[in-house]
């Protein structure tokens, strides 16, 4: 039994949950405790008690702790990657990359802990000097999603600790294994008791308790738009600081002058790798008519060469969908696409493998209209819609015609169109001749419109959420 971590102690839950491998339903990754509202309140109380001590801990000690966490993640990369692939279903190669990223995040923010910026302004009134400093927010509640079960927790927990906050962490109920392993590493990093707490369990129980508790000063959430709205209402209702990353319906524009090989790789990688279970996935492929037939045929050929199977098997390109509910949702959208008149050019069916799992062939819809549901709603699976357009101007208009604004991309050899798209795309992140999915931990992450709310995540921009600004006036 994998227990919760509250106030520096491992604590059993009210119930437990089996963690099932989506590549092999007979493989139980482990049993994980489920916290109730009482245990969540205990974790919050422990964080509140520890917050002042950690806030006044030296930058060097914070550096040492975060750097040690990053080093142990790297040292255990194969073990952690195997665990991640087993519980979430992404390929072992992708899992290794995610573990590397988690380690890099902790090491990056170890450095940030010793260079928190401030400012001393010249006196505007004789003898009175204004000083601007940044202080920790206090207790930060972290609610993470299932699709990146170690990287996203890392990019929330690391800056929270680096800038002196105490943490209450609720991982996704579906994939607690990687989060528990990360918590176990953090538990031995020398933090004062209560500085970091892990409470596993359902969002309706643990998450709700965190949202309602006034001792939680800030909430960082990544998940669906619907849940995000409820998080925002609860947090703003009691004036807590809130940061949210939600959905995407990301466009990848392919112009007639694009390098076809580059365009195909960008589209296939962005739309289908990691089973399309990325908020930055290229779910809308907006293609100019001159290159349209060649692009569609090349994508189909590329998809035919992909191997769908067990995440831990050598040579697997795409692993399973995360669970039965997500697979059923993908299949519903494939049916919706057909009913709306889009042409299913490839895939969309289940794949039989050596083990019982949630395997799905990537679905490619062509001759789509941006008004169709498969072009409007986030599916969060290996389903992409190709939308034909006549001109660059029409492509840009279609790309921006969405309630989301996380990531966008364009494949072109035209510097003119690339520069214009970079400026006019209504997205938080713009990719030129590279997939819409794939970001760096030292650069800000976030979107516009319905995709994000609040300050950016990652890089130095994380400072905006995890600290508060204080202005001090001193009369000499």
Give catalytic residue positions. 245, 279
Instruction: State how far the Cα of 180 lies from the Cα of 188, in Å rounded to an integer.
Output: 13
Whether the CB-CB separation of 203 and 173 falls below 8 Å is answered with yes
Q: Is 194 left (phi over 0), alpha (psi -120 to 50) or beta?
A: left
Instruction: State how far the Cα of 270 lies from the Cα of 438, in Å rounded to an integer.
Output: 8
Whether the CB-CB separation of 26 and 32 falls below 8 Å is answered with no
Cβ neighbours for 212, distance < 8 A, ≥ 6 positions apart: 234, 238
- In 142-287, which residue ranges form alpha helices assigned H by DSSP? 151-162, 176-186, 208-212, 225-237, 260-272
For the chain, the straight-line distance linking the first and the last C-alpha, in angstroms and rounded, comes to 60
Instruction: State how far the Cα of 193 lies from the Cα of 50, in Å rounded to an integer.
Output: 7
Residue 45 Cα distances to 166, 283, 331, angstroms: 11, 42, 44
Q: Is 289 left (phi over 0), alpha (psi -120 to 50) or beta?
A: alpha
Q: Is 446 left (phi over 0), alpha (psi -120 to 50) or beta?
A: left
Query: Using H for helix, E for strand and C for coil, what is the string for 409-458?
Result: EEECCCHHHHHHHHHHCCCCEEEECCCCCCCCCCCCECCEECCEECCCEC
Instruction: State how far the Cα of 150 lies from the Cα of 95, in Å rounded to an integer.
Output: 9
Q: Regarding beta strands 241-245 and 452-453, do their DSSP bridges make them parallel or antiparallel, or are they unpaired?
A: antiparallel
Instruction: State how far the Cα of 452 lies from the Cα of 446, in Å rounded to an integer.
Output: 6
Q: Regarding beta strands 404-405 and 448-449, do their DSSP bridges make them parallel or antiparallel, or are they unpaired?
A: antiparallel
Instruction: State how far the Cα of 343 lies from the Cα of 441, in Å rounded to an integer.
Output: 38
The backbone torsions φ and ψ at residue 76, rounded to the nearest 5 degrees and listed phi first, read -110, 25
Instruction: State how far the Cα of 236 lies from the Cα of 180, in Å rounded to an integer.
Output: 29
């Amino acid at each position: 039994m994998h227990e919760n971590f509250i106030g520096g102690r491992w604590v059993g839950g009210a119930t437990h949950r089996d963690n099932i491998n989506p590549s092999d339903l007979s493989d139980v990754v482990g049993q994980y405790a489920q916290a109730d509202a009482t245990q969540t309140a205990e974790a919050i109380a422990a964080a509140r008690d520890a917050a002042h001590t950690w806030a006044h801990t030296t930058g060097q000690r914070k550096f040492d702790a975060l750097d040690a966490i990053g080093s142990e993640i790297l040292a255990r990369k194969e073990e952690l990657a195997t665990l991640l692939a087993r519980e979430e279903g992404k390929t072992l190669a992708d899992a290794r990359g995610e573990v590397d990223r988690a380690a890099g995040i902790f090491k990056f923010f170890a450095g940030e802990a010793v260079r928190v910026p401030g400012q001393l302004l010249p006196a505007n009134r004789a003898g009175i000097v204004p000083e601007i400093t940044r202080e920790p927010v206090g207790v930060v509640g972290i609610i993470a999603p299932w699709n990146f079960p170690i990287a996203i927790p890392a990019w929330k927990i690391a800056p929270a600790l680096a800038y002196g906050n105490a943490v209450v962490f609720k991982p996704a109920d579906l994939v607690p294994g990687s989060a528990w392993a990360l918590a176990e590493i953090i538990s031995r990093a020398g933090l004062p008791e209560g500085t970091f707490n892990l409470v596993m369990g359902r969002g309706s129980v643990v998450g709700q308790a965190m949202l309602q508790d006034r001792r939680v000063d800030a909430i960082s959430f990544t998940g669906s738009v619907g849940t995000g709205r409820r998080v925002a209402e609860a947090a703003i209702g009691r004036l807590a600081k809130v940061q949210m990353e939600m959905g995407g319906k990301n466009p990848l524009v392919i112009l007639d002058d694009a390098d076809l090989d580059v365009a195909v790789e960008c589209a296939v990688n962005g739309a289908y790798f990691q089973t399309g279970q990325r908020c930055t996935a290229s779910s809308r492929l907006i293609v100019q008519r001159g290159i349209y037939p060649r692009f569609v045929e090349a994508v189909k050929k590329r998809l035919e060469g992909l191997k769908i199977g067990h995440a831990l098997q050598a040579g697997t390109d795409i692993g399973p969908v995360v669970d039965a509910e997500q697979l059923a949702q993908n299949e519903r959208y494939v049916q919706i696409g057909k009913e709306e008149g889009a042409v299913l050019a490839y895939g969309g069916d289940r794949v039989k493998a050596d083990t019982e799992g949630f395997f799905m062939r990537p679905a490619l819809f062509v001759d789509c209209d941006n008004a169709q549901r498969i072009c409007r709603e986030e599916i969060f699976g290996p389903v992409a819609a190709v939308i034909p357009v006549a001109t660059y101007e029409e492509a840009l208009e279609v790309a921006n015609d969405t309630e989301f604004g996380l990531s966008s991309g364009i494949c072109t050899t035209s510097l003119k169109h690339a520069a214009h798209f970079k400026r006019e795309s209504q997205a938080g992140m713009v990719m030129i001749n590279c997939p819409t999915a794939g970001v760096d931990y030292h650069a800000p992450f976030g979107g516009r419109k319905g995709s994000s709310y609040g300050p950016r995540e990652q890089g130095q921009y994380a400072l905006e959420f995890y600290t508060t600004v204080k202005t001090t006036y001193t009369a000499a």
